[in-house]
């Protein structure tokens, strides 16, 4: 065997010994597992109006966009979706990407100029971390949710262009960033604030417009919002939203926009339908909040260490990576899918299982799933 393949085998063996092997588990369309692992918070991926809108566009446009957004990939559903997202988020313009990951890479890069200081929360998603790395800015990682540390980092670099990078609701523990305080600090130092609203969009704020809107920061000229369209909106893709000059710059220079095939028109049409449902989805949001609170009560009563969710993410501590893997596997064997987070995916070295509330799951199945999680706990 070639040396490089042998090296890969050795690395795989080390990961297996540490309990860090990952596996793909294909599921069928008729899968009956109770899904508390995916991110379809509001159950819209299968909503009849969403599926119908996607089907109509699929018939009209075909399977793919056939090219990048600047060639032939921009269709009427793309334009309508961007207009609807901008209106919903209260910003001048929004730009749709084929994934939230690519949107974050583009947004960070667009805000960096020579000498820019990037101040990144320690719990930020991998896409934000990678965006900071490839941007060629100077990166300083601050302790999770620590506004004083951000203030100190900005104060130590007077006169330098700076961008503070954070999630709104964090993907690991589901907690909410102190956005209003962060924005006050950013504005005082003349910096910018970049917020990944992926896990808040659709769930909090006026009409579900996300964490930035909930903090009263919608449309502020020194705030840029990114998000994925694959969570509460039940589809795929990502967005960058903010002042019109930023969107113009991304269209002209954003490499992950220019050189990537566009989001399929059928997906854009389905997400547009989901956006309309979400803006009018107060009942869905109330049900999600009720289920999240019920889950915390049930799991805490069983003696488990549980995060306090700001949206639909609930983190439950596991004794270690192998225990987390076994816990998730035991739940799946009993018909309940939960997430499994372990190093190096966790920023603090702790292992967890992660529940994501899905109001599309019948309530009786959701309650039963909580019992299964407790019964399978290590």
pLDDT tens for each residue of 199-214: 999 999 999 999 999 9
Tell me the whole-structure pTM to 2 decimals: 0.95
For residue 355, give the H/E element and its range: strand 351-356
pLDDT tens for each residue of 158-201: 999 999 999 999 998 999 999 999 999 999 999 999 999 999 99
> What is the average per-residue pLDDT within 331-342?
95
CA distances from residue 10 to 4, 7, 13, 24, 138 in whole angstroms, order as listed: 10, 5, 5, 20, 34
Kindly give, in sequence order, each residue whose CB lies less than 8 Å from that of residue 62, ignoring residues fewer than 6 positions away.
none
Distance CA 310, CA 210 (A): 11
> What is the average per-residue pLDDT within 297-304?
97
Domain chopping of the chain, boundaries: 29-45+282-375, 48-279
Class of domain 29-45+282-375: alpha beta
Q: What is the mean pLDDT of the chain?
A: 96
pLDDT tens for each residue of 47-87: 999 999 999 999 999 999 999 999 999 999 999 999 999 99
What does the block give as tokens for 160?
A: 């330098």
Q: Peptide bond preceding 344: is omega within 30 degrees of 0, i.e. cis?
A: yes
- The phi and psi torsions of 87 (rounded to 5 degrees) equal -65, -45
CA angle 330, 332, 337 (to 5 degrees): 130
- Residue 1: per-residue pLDDT: 53
- Choose which CATH entry (3.60.70.12, 3.20.20.70, 3.30.470.20, 3.40.640.10) describes domain 48-279: 3.40.640.10
Alpha helices in the chain (DSSP H): 3-17, 48-61, 76-89, 100-110, 126-135, 147-155, 179-188, 211-214, 244-253, 255-258, 265-279, 282-301, 321-333, 363-375
Contact by Cβ (8 Å): 43, 49: no
pLDDT tens for each residue of 230-269: 999 999 999 999 999 999 999 999 999 999 999 999 999 9
Q: Evaluate whether 29-45+282-375 and 48-279 have a shared fold.
A: no
pLDDT tens for each residue of 318-335: 999 889 999 999 999 999
pLDDT at 18 over 90: no
């Amino acid at each position: 065997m070639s040396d490089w393949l042998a090296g890969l085998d050795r690395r795989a063996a080390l990961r297996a010994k540490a309990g860090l092997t990952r596996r793909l588990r294909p599921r069928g369309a008729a899968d009956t597992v109770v899904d508390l692992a995916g991110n379809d918070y509001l159950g819209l991926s299968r909503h009849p109006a969403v599926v119908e809108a996607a089907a109509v566009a699929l018939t009209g446009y075909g399977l793919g966009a056939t090219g990048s957004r600047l060639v032939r990939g921009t269709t009427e559903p793309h334009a309508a979706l961007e207009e609807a997202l901008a209106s919903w988020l209260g910003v001048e313009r929004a730009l749709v990407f084929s994934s939230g990951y690519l949107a974050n890479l583009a947004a960070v890069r667009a805000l960096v100029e020579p000498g820019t200081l990037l101040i990144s929360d320690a719990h930020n998603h991998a896409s934000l971390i990678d965006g900071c790395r490839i941007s060629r800015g100077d990166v300083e990682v601050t302790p999770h949710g620590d506004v004083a540390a951000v203030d100190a980092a900005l104060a130590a670099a007077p006169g330098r262009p700076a961008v503070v990078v954070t999630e709104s609701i964090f993907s690991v523990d589901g907690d909410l960033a102190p956005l209003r305080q962060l924005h006050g600090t950013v504005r005082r130092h003349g910096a910018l604030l970049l917020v990944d609203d992926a896990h808040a969009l659709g769930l909090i704020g006026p009409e579900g417009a996300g964490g930035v809107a909930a903090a009263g920061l919608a449309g502020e000229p020194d705030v840029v919002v990114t998000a994925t369209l694959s969570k509460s909106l039940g589809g795929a893709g990502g967005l960058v939203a903010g002042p019109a000059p930023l969107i113009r710059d991304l269209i002209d220079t954003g490499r992950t926009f220019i050189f990537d095939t566009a989001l399929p028109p059928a997906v854009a049409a389905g997400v547009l339908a989901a956006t309309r449902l979400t803006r009018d989805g107060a009942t869905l949001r109330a049900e999600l909040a009720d289920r999240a609170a019920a889950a915390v009560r049930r799991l805490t009563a069983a003696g488990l260490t549980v995060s306090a969710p700001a949206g639909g993410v609930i983190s439950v501590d596991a004794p270690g990576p192998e225990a987390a893997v076994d816990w998730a596997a035991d739940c799946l064997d009993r018909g309940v899918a939960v997430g499994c987070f372990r190093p190096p995916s966790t920023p603090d070295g702790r292992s967890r299982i992660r529940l994501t509330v899905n109001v599309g799951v019948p309530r009786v199945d959701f309650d039963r799933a909580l019992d299964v999680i407790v019964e399978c706990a290590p």
